[in-house]
Amino acid sequence: MAKSETSVGSEDPSSSRPWESYHTVFTNAKAGMEGVDKEKVQRIVYEMSKGSKYFENEEKKEAYTKQKIENMRIQYSKLTAQDISHHQKIADKRILELEATRDLSRIWLHVDMDAFYAAVETLCNPSLKGRPMAVGSMSMLSTANYEARKFGVRAAMPGFIARKLCPELLFVPVDFQKYNHYSNLTRKVFQKYDPNFLAASLDEAYLDITSVCKERGITSGEVAEELRESVHLETGLTCSAGVAPNRLLAKVCSDINKPNGQFVLPNDRSAVVTFISSLPIRKIGGIGKVTERILKDVFGIATCEEMLQKSSFLCGLFSRSSADFFLSIGLGLGGTDTPQYRTRKSISNERTFSATEDEALLFQKLVDLSEMLSADMKKEGLFGRTLTLKLKTASFEVRSRAVTLPSYISSSEEILKHASKLLKAEFPVSLRLMGLRMSHFSEDKNGIPLDPTQKTLSNFILSGAASGVRTSDYRPLVSDVCDNTFSVDENCCPTYCAETSCDLRDSSKESKASDSTYSCHVIGNINEELNETVVPQSSEPQPKVHEPTDTDHTIKSDKVDSYMGQLEASSCDRWEIGVNCTNDEAGSVSDQKQLFLWVDDYKCPICGIEMPPSFIEERQEHSDFHLAEKLQGEESGNHHRSFLPPQRAAQRGHTGSSSRQKKKQKSSPTASKYVPIDAFFVKTNQNF
């Protein structure tokens, strides 16, 4: 494959056609593009893209793909005859096991609307009929009608490239409200044939028509014909259908006679094997551009049948799940059972726009997304806790930032509040796409935590649960952590994290963190008196409660950085935060110096969640929730110290006496102003 080995956009003097090696989604054929001059499309896309940020990103992706192929070739060359024989036995056995799962008793129909968005616009504006038209703008196209596809215009293509391919192309703005309306009309028709149909998108669905065929005594082809006619009568739109023994093949079949056609694959093993044998691997859902190139360039696999012929190599060089997927394709196997109803895991929306670094404009985009997400959630009665912000930069780098909240939310105001903080952490940045996703839903859909026994900090104080701990008997947090290992439900903690390879940490801050004085920064969120309560470094109990001043409430970033220290958490128990609790060291807090410290100024030492230093309030709440979890664990266990084995209790008593013989450590100059947060609960509880 000489073409694939030429880097994207490389100007090799010996090659006068550099566009031939330019692989993009725009050059992949769709229904209605069979007679398109592919070389012309590749050349125009190459010339229009060259020098752009998109082109640079494609070059990076191409380099990564080439490296991946090269690595696979190296592994391929290392396989000995003995290895191949061994993996062939494994493959033969696995093929027999997969063949035993073949189910030819079900009849599945896949229906796909023809150029749905464009067809809806043409239906609403008949003057567009017969003219090349695309839904979208000069920035990006959502779809194109079949007249435009003859020129190589397709969905997911920038409008300016499409206009170059087809100078007469008309642009129509996107109208999702209109598309949703017609989608609902089609789904009413689908329900008549399968009440439990699976909607794959606005314009396609899977239907199990087995019972319809049996009950009415008609063939699957007749059901498909009738369904397509019903959709046309209900909406005025055409659709294509594919019928097969499983969903994977049904989707392939629906694309064969597009537009406004159908194809039926009989429920017969020989018919399935014959059909799949010559089918190009790219026709299968789940095999994209990169996988196709690896299979072709490394193994020489171009059709589904060849996957079985090269089964030993697939089993030898791919994981068990990937190998099973490839072998299933070679056998023509797919899903046949009706998936059980599953609750929604997430809900999201996103929008693409011209690249901009205007913060005001980006915030307005965020406002719109927050309102849309909130409206969608309220429509389904959903409340969520984990909010994710998706960003695509002007250089096509994709980032995501997430925050897990202490309570369930659905209002646009709450969504915008937390999404804004995530976005601010990225500035300055130039973006071309923004999206919001909410997940971690409440099952009862009313915002109440799933665990009815889970208490809030306020309830904990008001219930008098803290009154059993005497201030005079209080021990520092580190000693308690040493004596008792906790288990924490991460779902109950407010957490912020970054899900990207980009490092937000400033190297200068890291160096400050390593040299800083270790301290514990525990923040309460019940009332103003808990906004700056820090566990002291002195092991002596503090009898006096600090009354916060205005200065105490002002937290500068450099002061927060001084609290941070580097910490290596135990891989076995992340609650053992680097503190040695044995022998004479257990009673001394000042010797240990590591209480609640953000690892590398970024990561929680208890749950491992990453949270940027700029999220000051959230980091304060996060540490407070971990401490609250500990206090509630003590309350539910009726003071864990009483459950310690006698030997352990004796050891602790000895340790405490030994530590008192040591030279007194100097306290922090401000230590007398603070009390531990649970000691504060005991003090304030007397006032309720």
Q: Which of the 8 DSSP states describes residue 139?
A: S
User: Distance (Å, rounded) from C-alpha 18 to C-alpha 124?
Assistant: 43
- Is residue 289 classed as helix, strand or coil in its secondary structure? helix
Is the separation of the CB atoms in 488 and 606 below 8 Å?
yes
Q: Which of the 8 DSSP states describes residue 236?
A: S
Residue of 184, 190, 134 whose CA lies nearest to 157: 134
Instruction: Measure Cα distances from 256 to 32, 252, 260 in Å.
Output: 11, 7, 10
Instruction: Measure Cα distances from 660 to 453, 587, 653, 654 in Å.
Output: 40, 8, 11, 10
User: Which pair of structure tokens corresponds to residue 67?
Assistant: 């490296």
Sign, Cα dihedral of 192, 193, 198, 199? negative
User: Which pair of structure tokens corresponds to residue 309?
Assistant: 């012929």
State which H helix or E strand residue 243 sits in. strand 239-244
DSSP character string of 486-555: ----GGGS-EEEE-SS-----HHHHHHHHHSPP-------SSGGGTT----SSSS---S-----HHHH--
Q: Which of 58, 62, 147, 204 is catalytic?
A: 204
Q: Which residues are within 8 A (CB) of 581 and not within 5 positions of it... i.e. 6 or more apart?
A: 479, 482, 483
Residue of 313, 307, 314 whose CA lies nearest to 332: 307
Burial 164-179 (b: 16+ CB within 10 A, else e): bbbeebbebebeeeeb
H-state helical runs in 381-497: 412-424, 457-462, 477-483
State which H helix or E strand residue 409 sits in. strand 398-409
* 97 is an active site residue: no
Question: Please, which residues bridge with residue 403 across strands?
Answer: 387, 496
User: Distance (Å, rounded) from C-alpha 455 to C-alpha 635?
Assistant: 11
Catalytic residues: 204
